[in-house]
Amino acid sequence: MASATANHEEHPAGLKRWLFTTNHKDIGTMYLVLSLLMFFVAGSFAMVIRAELYSPGMQIVQPYFFNELTTMHGLVMIFGAIMPGFVGFANWQIPMMIGAPDMALPRLNNWSFWILPFAFTLMLTSFFVPGGAPGTGWTMYAPLSIQAGIGMDFVIFSIHLLGISSVLGAINIIVTILNMRAPGMTLMKMPMFVWTWLITAFLLVAVMPVLAGTVTMTLADRHFGTHFFDAGGGGDPVLYQHLFWFFGHPEVYIMILPAFGIISQIIPTFSRKPLFGYESMVYATASIAFMSFIVWGHHMFTVGMPAAGEMFFMYTTMLIAVPTGVKIFNWVATMWRGSLTFETPMLFAVGFLVLFTIGGFSGLMLAIVPADFQYHNTYFVVAHFHYVLFSGAAMAMMGGCYYWLPKWTGHMYNETLGKWHFWLTTIFFNITFFPMHFLGLAGMPRRVPDYALQFTDLNRVASIGAFGLGLSQLLWVYVIYQTVKGGRKATSKVWDGAEGLEWTLTSPPPYHSFVTAPTVK
């Protein structure tokens, strides 16, 4: 026993520490660093896209390369920046929030992470093979994906790897939450972040295999003579879309539910008041997750679906607005008659509330089938999903980063720079994406490298905003670097309104979070 304990306390240094670590904090850090790196990789693709769209005509890139960039921007942001980012938060926070020493399956945890660098190497290598990366958009619709060069196969295999990583990570999270909670922490006493991740993990286990199967069918159509999606061989191109969006819509909630969790931690802390309607928040999250499985058809209203199908998907999609609305109202009610302060995490949370709601409203507009016929595949859709994914998922992660960074590093970040980061991000975000609503209404299709002259002015505004938005994120990296290196010592509680087990640990927390389980009353 003594030797086992000694062995447990051994921390290899250098590269080996990171390669062989089974520690939830080390693995969480690696997930977060990878996510930040991928955020900049995919962001740099967006910068080239916006530079090309600054003026009508082809200036910087060729049309095919432009399509490669839109594809890879989407894939890398979704699978590289957002998903691993939230897994990083889960790794750091879940054991600390439920009073556990580590994740339940530490070696699996190591493996889930180390699959990712290989997966992204494979995915990004596709740029350098003959024919380049796929120019199909991240949706990879057949038959366009059947035409693409060998880069498509690279992306298919990397999606297999990413799927394995996600499913293993999700299983680990489910097992940890269900088995390792401290005595007295019943399910209905768990912090909201833990609840949202439990539900997200079930979504991941349910739909990542669907995506893996779908891209495998594409692979078979490309190389093994099958005709799943080839009408000429008796297959069905629309089947691909049904399968893809059966994965794709729950995927949207995989990317937003953990964000809801982070916001539900931040707002009560800085309102100095408990979360309003905890139980209804849990039920709302669960019903959003359930409904995410029955709305996929709203991505496909123009494929020639029968009216009955269009009505079904319209009504179910509109219904999702109800639990989502409940969450927004609960957050506002939490702030109501609180004792509010506005440190950087709270600024991001309030920014999230306002901007995510704009994305929610444009989503509701898109659900109205007749109007969707006008919005579908235009810049209105681009505006919509950036309001939910950037000002939703990404800004929640920024807020979460400022919220927990003092706990993780033991240092306070620079509040002035943090606030600058918030305001620059919010202002440039809106300059970039708000005009895109109007571009879409006026008729500009998405995924075009060139456009008609009446779209010039708003594209210029969007491009200028995008460059500002991209540059502002460098400030974030600087603040993180500065905080990791040093700074004012953080107390255990960090924020005077903070509640929860993680704040009972020192800042930074010990290597094994809770060696003896705390008791929750």
Partner 1 sequence: MSLSFEKKKPSGPLSVARARFAAAMVLLFSASTAWARVRWNFETPVTSTAHEIFHLQNLIFGVCVAIFVVVFGIMFYSIFAHRKSKGHKPATFHQSTTIEIIWTAIPFLILVAMAVPATATLLKMENTSGSALTVRITGYQWKWQYEYPAQGISFFSNLSTPTAQIENQEPKNKHYLLQVDHPLVLPVGEKIRFLITSKDVIHSWWVPSFAVKTDAIPGFMNQSWTKIQVPGTYRGQCTELCGLGHAFMPVVVKAVSQEDFAKWVAAQKALMVASAADATKTWTEADLLGHGKTVFAANCAACHQITGQGIAGTFPPLAGGKKFSAAASMMQKLRHRGFLTRGDRIVMGPVKNHLRIVLQGIPGTPMPSFASQLNDTDIAAVVTYERNSFGNHTGDVIEPSQVAALR
Instruction: Report the catalytic residues.
Output: 73, 102, 138, 165-166, 249, 251, 253, 264, 298-299, 324, 327, 446
Q: How far apart are CA 153 and CA 123, in angstroms?
A: 9
Which 138-157 positions form the footprint of partner 1 (CB under 8 A)? 141, 143-144, 147, 149-150
Point out which span in 31-39, 346-354, 403-411, 510-518 binds partner 1 (CB under 8 A): 346-354
**Contact yes or no for 80/88 (Cβ under 8 A):** no
Give the integer Cα–Cα distance in Å for 460 and 496. Answer: 44
Measure the CA–CA gap between 287 and 278, rounded to whole angstroms.
14
Distances (CA, A) of 410 to 29, 206, 211, 507: 14, 37, 40, 4
Q: Which is nearer to partner 1, 10 or 279 (CB)?
A: 279
Handedness of CA 87, 88, 93, 94 (dihedral sign): positive
Are 373 and 301 in contact by the 8 Å Cβ rule? The answer is yes
460 binds partner 1 (CB under 8 A): yes
Q: What distance in Å separates the CA atoms of residue 230 and residue 222, rounded to the nearest whole number?
A: 10
**458 binds partner 1, rule: CB under 8 A:** yes
Q: Which is nearer to partner 1, 411 or 446 (CB)?
A: 446
Tell me: does residue 132 bind partner 1 (CB under 8 A): yes
In angstroms, the CA 257 to CA 132 distance is: 34
308, burial (CB in 10 Å: exposed 0-12, middle 13-18, buried 19+)? exposed
Q: Is 495 in the site for partner 1 (CB under 8 A)?
A: no
Check if the beta carbon of residue 519 is closer than 8 Å to that of residue 182: yes
Angle 200-137-463 from CA coordinates, rounded to 5°: 95
Q: Which distant-in-sequence residues (6+ apart) come within 8 Å of 510 by Cβ?
A: none
**CA 220, CA 230: separation in Å to the nearest integer?**
11
Contact between residue 335 and residue 267 where contact means Cβ atoms under 8 Å apart: yes
Q: Minimum distance between the CB of residue 457 and partner 1, rounded to whole angstroms?
A: 5
For partner 1, the binding residue among 108, 182, 219, 238 (CB under 8 A) is: 238
Beta bridge partners of 411: 489
We find the least distance from the C-beta atom of residue 297 to partner 1, in angstroms, to be 13
Residue type, position 482, single letter? Q
Instruction: Output phi, psi for 489, to 5 deg.
Output: -65, 135
Q: Interface with partner 1 includes 448 (CB under 8 A)? A: yes
- 78, 116 in Cβ contact below 8 A? no
Measured from the CB atom, is 324 or 507 closer to partner 1? 324
Q: Which of 302, 416, 504, 506 binds partner 1 (CB under 8 A)?
A: 302
Q: What is the smallest separation between the CB atom of 447 and partner 1, expressed in angstroms?
A: 5
Whichever of 283 and 478 has its CB closer to partner 1, that residue is: 283
Binding partner 1 (rule: CB under 8 A), the pick from 19, 178, 311, 477 is 311
**Which window, 114-122, 244-252, 302-310, 462-470, contacts partner 1 (CB under 8 A)?**
302-310
Q: Which two tokens stand for residue 186?
A: 């019943």
Distance CA(511)–CA(488), nearest Å, equals: 21
Q: How many chain residues interact with partner 1 (CB under 8 A)? A: 101
Residue numbers 51-70 binding partner 1 by CB under 8 A: 56-59, 62-64, 67
Longest Cα–Cα distance of the chain, Å, equals: 75
Does position 413 interact with partner 1 (CB under 8 A)? The reply is: no
Nearer to partner 1, 14 or 304 (CB): 304
Smallest separation, CB 283 to partner 1 (Å): 10
353 or 427, CB closer to partner 1? 353
Residues 351-380 close enough to bind partner 1 by CB under 8 A: 353-354, 357-358, 361, 364-365, 368-371, 373-374, 376-378
Where in 162-221 is the site for partner 1 (CB under 8 A)? none
When the beta carbons of 339 and 519 are compared against partner 1, the nearer one is 339
Encoding tokens for residue 77? 């942001």
- Contact code string over 326-345 relative to partner 1, x by CB under 8 A: x-xx--xxxxxxxxxxx---
What x/- string results for residues 73 through 92 when contact with partner 1 is judged by CB under 8 A? --------------------
Sole window of 14-22, 40-48, 274-282, 396-404 interacting with partner 1 (rule: CB under 8 A):
274-282
Shortest reach from residue 361's CB to partner 1, in Å: 4
Interaction of residue 231 with partner 1, rule CB under 8 A: yes
Closest to partner 1 by CB, 457 or 474: 457
Of the candidates 66, 141, 73, the one whose C-alpha atom is nearest the C-alpha of residue 448 is 66
Question: Rule CB under 8 A: is residue 423 a binding residue for partner 1?
Answer: no
Q: Which is nearer to partner 1, 333 or 427 (CB)?
A: 333
- Rounded to a whole number of angstroms, the minimum distance from the CB of residue 304 to partner 1 is 4
**Burial per residue of 383-399, b for 16 or more beta-carbon CB atoms within 10 angstroms, e otherwise:** bbbbbbbbbbbbbbbbb
Identified binder of partner 1 from the candidate list 454, 504, 506, 519, rule CB under 8 A: 454
Angle subtended at Cα 240 by Cα 212 and Cα 445, rounded to the nearest 5 degrees: 115
* Least gap, CB of 259 to partner 1 (angstroms): 18
- Token reading at 473: 């994120």
Q: Whose Cβ is closer to partner 1: residue 280's or residue 492's?
A: 280
Instruction: Report the nearest approach of partner 1 to the CB of residue 146 (Å).
Output: 8
| Owner of token pair 């905080």 | 483
Residue 128 sits in the site that holds partner 1 (CB under 8 A): no
